[in-house]
Amino acid sequence: MAQKRKEESEFKVSDKRLFNADGELRDSTEEQVATSSGTATAAATAPAAASTPATTPAAAIPEVAAIPTIPAAPESEVPEPPTASEQQAQHDAYKKSARDLDTRVELSGHSAKELEMSFERFMASLYMTAMMQLGLMHEQGGQPGVDLIGARQTIDTLGMIAEKTKGNLTAKEQGFLQNCLYELRMAYVEVTNALAHAPQAPSPITGTKG
């Protein structure tokens, strides 16, 4: 009976990611099983300076906080966009500052290519954010935490980007985005199901005198 209860309380969080945060294919996938102690782990490969895999006790998950509402600004209060000449002047100033930074980076012995933002890097940053919000990754030296609402919003952001960029992505970019969405949605379902079926702490037993 104890063995049966143990098997029923186990749940599996699978890490089926095909690539790492830099867009490189991984050699293999890994999965780990969390037991009735209420832990959820995922073998998440990430840059060493960014994050490390995390194990989050279900009992330590805080209650869902109230969702903050962002009031929409009245249409009359929306400022006028800058003129074309203003945009060009600001663009030129930004590019000059960026070139100055690239020069300092090169002089420090690093490559300015490391600063360049690509579509894959942008997707990877959102992917890692969602993984941390799901408690499957955490900042190096930090503590893991679960933010289901934040994770759902990040995943929905990726879904919105997928809709808005239809027909404008290369085959590689489209595949990268779809992999991110597939893996994150799967992880979200697994984590939420695992938390919903996590063992609850037993209630204190009170006795009455006969």
Could you tell me if 151 and 136 are in contact, meaning their C-beta atoms sit under 8 angstroms apart?
Answer: no
Report the pLDDT averaged over residues 41-57.
Answer: 42
Report the pLDDT averaged over residues 67-72.
Answer: 60
How large a percentage of the chain has pLDDT more than 90?
40
Report the pLDDT averaged over residues 42-60.
Answer: 42
Helix, strand, coil percent content, the chain, rounded in steps of 5: 50, 10, 40
pLDDT in tens, 8-28: 444 444 455 555 555 555 554
Query: At residue 36, does pLDDT exceed 90?
Result: no
Q: Measure Cα distances from 38 to 8, 13, 79, 87, 187 in Å.
A: 13, 12, 50, 53, 16
Confidence class for position 114, pLDDT limits 50, 70, 90:
confident
Taking each helix axis from N to C end, the angle separating 119-133 and 171-196, rounded to the nearest 10 degrees, works out to 0
159: part of which helix (H) or strand (E)? helix 148-164
pLDDT at residue 176 in the model: 94
Instruction: Say which DSSP state 60 is in.
Output: G
pLDDT at residue 71 in the model: 63
Q: What value does the mean pLDDT of the chain take?
A: 74
Taking each helix axis from N to C end, the angle separating 148-164 and 171-196, rounded to the nearest 10 degrees, works out to 160
How large a percentage of the chain has pLDDT more than 70?
59
- What's the rounded Cα separation, in Å, for the pair 172 and 23? 10
Higher pLDDT, 36 or 69: 69
pLDDT in tens, 135-190: 998 878 777 789 999 999 999 999 999 999 999 999 999 999 999 999 999 999 99
Of 41-50, 150-159, 180-189, 200-209, the least confident? 41-50
* 13-22, 27-36, 93-102 — most confident range: 93-102
> How is the chain split into domains, by residue range?
2-63+118-196
* 57-61, 105-109, 171-175 — most confident range: 171-175
- Burial track 140-177 (b if 16+ CB lie within 10 A, e otherwise): eeeebbbbbebbbebbeebeebbeeeeeebeeebbebb
